[in-house]
Structure 1
């Protein structure tokens, strides 16, 4: 696992500790959340109001300082527009809270747009077309409606600091794209705000291109707005997909070659009428890829309880006790349509089919490093509980041989609190074997079994199946083989071992359980299984 989410933080020392910690456990990727674009109203004095119903909204203290020549910033913008033509007007007002600062490239029309500094507060005034177009002209003399985007910036530029830390620790940073406002009726991204959202995205990406072009630590950008992955009957009517397409098109134009990452979620609970099958999720994966994203990192669902970690031969087993508050006291077969592994397997097939169509997209896994309820909660984990390394190892195993990179939500809190914290558990037990797949393979005319995974060198392999009296234990270093050659399409560190096995002794349709143990006796948290259907 080499990537982690981090939360915005005003303290530079906290950022540094987070990067140090990520680096210490082998991480090379940091993804950060952003701040949403928010439509706002004005009071009689032209002051920006808080979110919410007009009756309850009050002047927003963050924007109270924003004044120009004695007028609130929104009023000042309107006056300047009307000075160019009395028929000009402000159609909509938006604010965007951020801890970043921007250079002059964020402005397209300096005659109407500029930076506003009031004491230690920094604001950026953008005047954009309501449809989000970039006309390439700064002629405001024709009389029209415009949208105002007022950005409240940071006292310093957080992204510059993050990229500097990335350079120092060899970590790629994925800053957030401006997230869309939410449609309160559908909970999708609200398409009525696509215009100003794409305009803001264009300006921010243009600024990044000017200030950070060629910067090694700028790994990509992160599409923050969440989406449930499924097979949509009418994708063109899904607001979030429409917003993705519009924003991704802008990123392509302004930051060519910079990858776009999105992390949708899945829900396999049978009690919900809309839960999709793996095949339906695979179709949704294809639709999502065609919005222009480069990396799809689905959430594995174990932290929320929306998916379970189980094998096909485990379906009649009771669900894990920590899942019972979510799905009830039942079996995996009754609780879930399919397991995490089944969904990732289906998406890997979709990825390969897309590649044949000329659509290249990477499939990553986002492992949820928490429990669905706050039992064992510590630090700032909100309503979630903490986990241990064996649970995390199991998630790595069940994501399987289908993903090219594994990342996790999230570093802040979930990896840094507890006794010992999860990050220390990883550092102390970093080389415990983690198998991810087993397959039938022949070597030099000998039948055998190939195991793929991590930290497999010098391991002992134990194989068992129903009706076998004693597990068969084999040391690959003595009678098999070990191959540490990097495996295309799998995360770094993936390797293979092979052991001989006479398949004529294995009953047809038997599930072969494969356990892997390190030379010092540490057994993998989760076995892998091979279905002998031949």
Structure 2
């Protein structure tokens, strides 16, 4: 903290020497797989130049397969008999599995596949009596999994029902290459966990719950064994694997009491997260989630309180290390508006959001207002999440609350190509967004979180289209010093100095334009400068470390300020304003 009595230019000069220039506030993102060291090196070097330090990945689902589906799957053309010389010919591997396991007294309930190109080692075969590796034109593992949790992983009494899961590997493991590249650049990696299997109707196949957890436990165990042996400069790559991300995402407002269907859904997710978190904790890794919000009245029609209850329920499981909430704006489930704009047409404030709403609901009125379309603004719900997080931490529930910025727009006029749709990348044809809109997301919620992540790097940040001849990543790198206000207010009812929280607010000539109304009803405008700075505010207050605090000079008589109203704060050079309402009447 810097003393108030020093001249502002002295304070600024001292602080600029003590605090390094900040990177752009987004420091994490999802990446697709890559299949050479050169590809990963190029991607991670540019990502580091961007200022980021964390890579997240998604993973494909476990899929239930019929024997007919396996026979038609091109990845299983070479999955033959373990008894043939080439392992390609002879009885199909799934037919052989059914016959062999039946002879051992087991009943095969069905077959599953997990196709994620991982070079699993022998440690994935916990049960050598039943599990097999086939070295063919692909490398296959045949893993036998129980339908109910046994006392030990390989405890299969006569007559036990099991599922047989097959994995495939074609020769290059992107995950090992990623860990190696990330270690060399001091980055953190979070692998994706398999998505939960679904039934023919698209719902979760809960009959496979124990099968799913048994396979996840195999993966966690195998990763520890394999990556502890793999080293870079004699350091285990397992240390670079920071944790695991659950690919299955939920709307926070649905993790709350409601109809029987909603209670069942909430119970499913809470049970899923609790079990995954407990398993991951046993390996001393972090468990991270990215649930989403839905404030759109035409969809879920959920309130801020509904979302906060879900947020709190997940945190209270006590096994989740990061809750990175998807902001919803890119998908039309969230919105940016200030209190003074609630009755304005969405189209006049955020034209692209209106286009998204119209795409999702073609009959929507051109004059629809924020009040008519949304139950609340993103600022309201993220501020409530921040308050809930701080209270939970004080109560002994430690976890981090992140903002997940959606760097896409849910329209398809100028789309980026989907990247790796079965796993880590964007699975739909959608447009990327602009740098100013990403700044706006940070304006709305960047003062309430510990870190900011964005979805997704390859599909949105590296994309060049007809509309955009430069990538979003290159635009941000060229423009990362632009100021962003993330909160503004009076210091207190007794001190009407304007206080601003944000990023890149420490420029030597950084000015702020303040618009306010005096007691006679006149609209006034003043240009002010900061005189009190806390450039380490984020670090000291458990927020994004580059978040800054600035108090502005007063150029007006406090007694002239209208007792009730709103103030607009504009940082010179910023894309977006900040507006706050007050009532001291």
Tell me the TM-score normalised to structure 1 length. Answer: 0.89
**Residue 294 to residue 358, structure 1, CA distance change in 2 (3 Å):** same
In the TM superposition, what is the alpha-carbon distance from 1:139 to its structure 2 partner?
Answer: 5.5
Kindly indicate whether the alpha-carbon contact (under 8 Å) linking 1:188 and 1:240 is maintained by their aligned counterparts in 2. Answer: no
Quote the residue 2:512 is aligned against.
461
Measured after TM superposition, the shift of residue 184 of structure 1 is 5.0
Which residue of the partner structure matches residue 46 of structure 1?
none
Distance 1:183 1:312, change over 3 A: farther
1:28 aligns with 2:53: yes
Choose which of 355, 361, 365 in structure 1 pairs with 2:393: 355
State the SS of the aligned residue for 1:297: strand
| Equivalent residue number for residue 55 of structure 1 | none
Deviations 1:428-487 (A, max 9, x none): 1111101111233279x97522211111113212111245544211122xxx12221234
In structure 1, what is the Cα distance between the partners aligned to 2:440 and 2:578?
Answer: 10
For 2:501 and 2:461, the matched residues in 1 are separated by: 26
Query: Cα 1:193–1:512, aligned 2, differ >3 Å: closer, same or farther?
Result: same
Instruction: State which of 319, 328, 336 in structure 2 corresponds to 1:309.
Output: 336
For the residues of structure 2 that align with 1:139 and 1:451, how far apart are their CA atoms? 62
Q: What's 1:389 paired with?
A: 435
The partner residue of 1:287 within 302, 313, 320 is 313
State the 1:176 CA deviation.
0.4
Q: Where does residue 53 of structure 1 map in the other structure?
A: none
Q: Distance in 1 between matches of 2:298 and 2:162?
A: 47
Deviations 1:479-523 (A, max 9, x none): x12221234221121111111335332212221111112xxxxx1
Distance 1:399 1:141 in 2: 54
Distance 1:312 1:357 in 2: 31
1:484 equivalenced with 2:513 (yes/no): no
Task: Give the alignment's TM-score, normalised by structure 2.
Answer: 0.81
Matched, 1:110 2:163: no
In 2 relative to 1, CA 398–447 (structure 1 residues): closer, same or farther, beyond 3 Å? Answer: closer
Q: Distance in 2 between matches of 1:188 and 1:23?
A: 39
Aligned residue among 257, 262, 282 for 1:233 = 257
Whole-Å separation in 1 of the counterparts to 2:492 and 2:442: 26
Residue aligning to 1:472: 526
User: Which segments of 5 or more consecutive residues in structure 1 lack a partner in the other structure?
Assistant: 44-48, 51-57, 518-522
CA distance in 2, matches of 1:507, 1:95: 67
How far, CA to CA, are the matches of 2:500 and 2:61 in structure 1? 45
| Change beyond 3 A, Cα 1:267–1:394 | same
Cα distance change of structure 1 residues 134 and 9 upon mapping to structure 2, 3 Å threshold: farther
- Which blocks of at least 5 consecutive residues in structure 2 are unaligned? 1-25, 84-89, 229-235, 358-363, 419-425
| Larger fraction in helix | 2
Which residue in the other structure is 2:490 paired with? 440
Match status 1:515 vs 2:545: no
Aligned residues: 505
- Asked whether 1:72 is paired with 2:96, we answer no
* 2:167 alignment counterpart: 151
Instruction: For residue 12 of structure 1, report the CA deviation from its aligned partner.
Output: 4.7
C-alpha distance in structure 1 between counterparts of 2:55 and 2:482, whole Å: 24
**1:136-215 mapped onto 2 (5 Å cutoff):** 136=152, 138=154, 140=156, 142-183=158-199, 185=201, 187-213=202-228, 215=238
Report if aligned partners of 1:189, 1:243 keep a CA contact under 8 Å in 2.
no
What is residue 296 of structure 2 aligned with on the other side? 269
- Measured on the aligned residues, the alpha-carbon RMSD in Å equals 2.3
1:520 aligned partner: none
Deviations 1:386-416 (A, max 9, x none): 2221111111111131111100011112111
Question: Which is worse superposed, 493-502 or 221-230?
Answer: 493-502
The answer as to whether partners of 1:8 and 1:33 remain within 8 angstroms in 2 is no
